[in-house]
């Protein structure tokens, strides 16, 4: 049982480049989330998905897109990276009727 996995662990992008952060869970949970964590701020929700095929915006969705193609995988795409998107990104999931979240190891992204 890997739990929640994220790839890559580290990434450096130039301004304007695009990339996709991958997240997969083997816990059979319906709900999945993407957060960003910045110094001095709490985790902020970018997008979430309550089930396969559905996605909703969170607190800070601008500059991001997501895709929930199946129950296991929830990807986050940056179409044109900006320095303001330098952050640590966490994927999380929780099972139905439970608010206890399980987090991936994070992706540290730097945009220069």
Partner 1 sequence: KNEVEQSPQNLTAQEGEFITINCSYSVGISALHWLQQHPGGGIVSLFMLSSGKKKHGRLIATINIQEKHSSLHITASHPRDSAVYICAVIGGNQFYFGTGTSLTVIP
The answer to whether the beta carbons of residues 50 and 56 sit under 8 Å apart is yes
User: Does 2 help bind partner 1 (rule: CB under 8 A)?
Assistant: no
Q: Least distance (Å) from partner 1 to the CB of residue 28? A: 17
Ranges within 52-111 binding partner 1 (CB under 8 A): 88, 90, 98-103, 105-106, 108
C-alpha distances (whole Å) from 94 to each of 26, 45, 50, 52 are 11, 14, 10, 14
* Distance between CA atoms of residues 86 and 105, nearest Å: 17
Q: Least distance (Å) from partner 1 to the CB of residue 41? A: 6
Binding site for partner 1 (CB under 8 A): 33, 40-45, 88, 90, 98-103, 105-106, 108
């Amino acid at each position: 049982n890997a739990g929640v996995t994220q790839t890559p662990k580290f990434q450096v992008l130039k301004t304007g480049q695009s990339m996709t952060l991958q997240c997969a869970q083997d816990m059979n949970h319906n709900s999945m989330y993407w957060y960003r964590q910045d110094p001095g701020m709490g985790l902020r929700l970018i997008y979430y998905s309550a089930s396969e095929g559905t996605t909703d915006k969170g607190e800070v969705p601008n500059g991001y897109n997501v895709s929930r193609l199946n129950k296991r995988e929830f990807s986050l795409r940056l179409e044109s990276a900006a320095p303001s998107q330098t952050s640590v990104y966490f994927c999380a999931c929780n099972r139905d009727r439970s608010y206890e979240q399980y987090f991936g190891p994070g992706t540290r992204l730097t945009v220069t």
